[in-house]
Amino acid sequence: MSSIIVIPPAVSPDGAAYLAKNSNRHPNECQPVVAIAGVEDDASSLISCTYLTIAQQPRRYAVVLSTPWWCWGGEMGANDQGVAIACEPILTRDTEFTEGLIGSDLVRLGLERGSSAEDAMNVIISLFQKHGQGGPAGVPWFPRGNDNTFVVVDASEAWLLETAGRHWAAKRIKRSYVTVPVITIGVGFDRHSYAAEPYAERKGWHRGIEEFDFRKSFERRRGARSRNCIRRAENMASQLSEIDNTMPLLALMKLLRYRRNSTAHSISHNDFTRAASSKSHQEQTTGAMAVRISPNRQDHFFTAASATDLAVFKPVHFGQPLENDLADKDLGHYSGDSLWWRQEEFHRNILRASEISPQYIEERDTLENKTVLELLAHKGSDLTDLRWRLQQELVAWEKGWREQINVKPRIIEPSRFKRYWKRLSAQAGVPQ
Give the pLDDT confidence of 247-280 residue by residue, as tens digits.
999 999 999 998 876 566 666 667 888 888 877 7
| Predicted pLDDT of residue 265 | 61
Please check whether residues 307 and 359 belong to one and the same domain: no
- Dihedral sign for Cα 80, 85, 86, 92, please: negative
Domain shared by 361 and 312, yes or no: no
298 and 370 share one domain: no
Same domain, 137 and 203: yes
Q: Is residue 336 part of a domain?
A: no
Provide the domain limits for residue 147.
4-323
Q: With a cut of 80, say whether residue 368 has pLDDT above it.
A: yes
Same domain, residue pair 287 and 379: no
Is residue 412 pLDDT above 60, yes or no? Answer: no
Instruction: Indicate whether 335 belongs to any domain.
Output: no
Question: Do 234 and 126 fall within a single domain?
Answer: yes
Q: Are residues 213 and 146 in the same domain?
A: yes
What is the per-residue pLDDT for 312?
Answer: 97
pLDDT digits (tens, 9 = 90+) for 309-342: 999 999 999 988 888 667 678 898 999 999 999 9
What's the mean pLDDT in 148-169?
A: 96
Question: Quick one: 142 exposed, middle or buried, by C-beta within 10 A (0-12, 13-18, 19+)?
Answer: middle
- Same-domain status, 26 and 118: yes
Confidence of residue 355 (pLDDT cuts 50, 70, 90): low
* Pairwise CA distance, residues 17 & 10, whole Å: 8
Average pLDDT of 141-159? 85
Query: Could you tell me if 314 and 388 lie in one domain?
Result: no
Q: Mark whether 288 and 221 lie in a shared domain.
A: yes
Whether 337 is covered by a domain: the verdict is: no
Residue 191 lies in a domain: yes
Q: Mean pLDDT lowest for which of 77-86, 161-170, 233-242, 371-380?
A: 233-242
Whether the model pTM is above 0.85: yes
Note whether residue 334 is domain-resident. Answer: no
Residues 6+ apart with CB under 8 A from 184: 160, 162, 215
Q: What is the pLDDT of residue 144?
A: 57
Question: For residue 310, which of 269, 346, 352 has the smallest C-alpha distance?
Answer: 346
Strand order in the sheet with 147-153: 33-36, 63-66, 76-79, 84-90, 147-153, 158-164, 167-172, 191-192
Q: Percent of the chain beyond pLDDT 90?
A: 62
Cα separation, 231 vs 272, in Å, equals: 11
Stretch among 29-38, 52-61, 147-156, 230-239 having the lowest mean pLDDT: 230-239
| 387 lies in the same domain as 317 | no
Confidence at 202, pLDDT banded by 50, 70, 90: very high
- Domain membership of residue 306 (yes or no) is yes
CATH code, 140: 3.60.60.10
Q: Minimum mean pLDDT among 147-161, 344-358, 373-387: which range?
A: 344-358
On average, the pLDDT of the chain sits at: 88
Q: Does 29 fall in a domain?
A: yes
Residue 24 has pLDDT above 80, yes or no: yes
pLDDT at 139: 62
Q: Residue 357's pLDDT is what?
A: 76
pLDDT at 366: 97
The number of distinct structural domains making up the chain is 2
Would 343 be classed as within a structural domain? Answer: no
Q: For the residues 221-229, what does the mean pLDDT come to? A: 66
Of 303, 323, 343, the one marking the end of a domain is 323
141 C-beta neighbours (distance < 10 Å), count: 11
pLDDT over threshold 80, residue 102: yes
Average pLDDT over residues 13-26: 94
Same domain assignment for residues 14 and 144: yes
Task: Summarize pLDDT for 162-189 with one digit per residue, the tens.
Answer: 999 999 999 999 999 999 888 999 998 9
pLDDT at 407: 45
Q: How much is the pLDDT for 241? A: 80
